[in-house]
Amino acid sequence: MTPTITAVPCLRDNYAYLVHDGDTAWVVDPSESAPVIAALARLGLRAAGVLATHHHVDHTGGIEGLIAHFGTMPVAAHALDRGRVPAQSLFIDAPADRFIAADLTIAGCQVLAAHIPGHTRAAIAWYLVGADDAAGSGDAEGDVFTGDTLFAAGCGRLFEGTPAQMHSSLQLLCGLPVATRLWFGHEYTAANLRFAAAVEPGHTPIAVRAEHLASCTTPTTVALERATNPFVRARDAIELGERRAAKDTF
């Protein structure tokens, strides 16, 4: 089963997401409440819960506003973010080497979770899979919310993590089936591709992708990131760290 996912632009370049079925939706990374509430109203939906990928305020700043508007609802984040995500009530102790069941079903899909440190120490990926691929290891498509760990053609800054952690997290995400859709936290794709072209000049897939960008580039896919993301394509953690340092001043 493929869930209905609606991207909601927030702040300057953030994305929140609505995962919906029937008349309710779970909200992923609501950085502010007003545009999320407006999108829910436009679609005739009520918020039923929140999935947070990490604690940064540009991903959690709208949680309390949603609760004020709709009432108490579950808020899920990694267990290591206890005390850092507003109103967190579900503390998911996901490991960093695999996806595990998070004991949640959203829009008819089982929710799996994995710890993906690098950008922050408690970053978590939320993976929605159909009943036919509940182990998350088959060839079926799925949808993964990556927050600021993986962007289209990029990765997040290493605020609380190490190159080794980021390398492992990106390899875990991009070890999923190639058609898996990856929904990321910021619209940085054009700038990321300019950096990718500088890192791998003459690499045709990067140039082709840059020539065909839409204004909204989410979601990407595992296949696209394997082909064009310089951090996913880094040979090891050392090379990833060098590329991340270069991107910070690019």
Q: Is 59 a catalytic residue?
A: yes
Q: Is 167 a catalytic residue?
A: no
Question: Which residue in 56, 78, 115, 167 is the catalytic one?
Answer: 56
Question: Which residue in 78, 115, 167, 186 is the catalytic one?
Answer: 186
Q: Is 203 a catalytic residue?
A: no
Question: Which residue in 59, 78, 115, 167 is the catalytic one?
Answer: 59
Question: Which residue in 20, 54, 55, 78 is the catalytic one?
Answer: 54
Q: Is 21 a catalytic residue?
A: no
What percent helix, strand, coil does the chain show, rounded to 5? Answer: 30, 30, 40
> Is there a contact between 61 and 30 (Cβ–Cβ < 8 Å)?
yes
Question: Which residue in 29, 81, 133, 148 is the catalytic one?
Answer: 148
Question: Which residue in 119, 133, 143, 167 is the catalytic one?
Answer: 119
Q: Is 55 a catalytic residue?
A: no
> Is there a contact between 92 and 77 (Cβ–Cβ < 8 Å)?
yes
How far is Cα 168 from Cα 96, in angstroms, rounded to an integer?
A: 8
Question: Which residue in 20, 29, 55, 58 is the catalytic one?
Answer: 58
How far is Cα 169 from Cα 146, in angstroms, rounded to an integer?
A: 10
> Is there a contact between 222 and 180 (Cβ–Cβ < 8 Å)?
yes
Q: Is 69 a catalytic residue?
A: no
> Is there a contact between 98 and 114 (Cβ–Cβ < 8 Å)?
yes
Residues identified as active-site = 54, 56, 58-59, 119, 148, 186
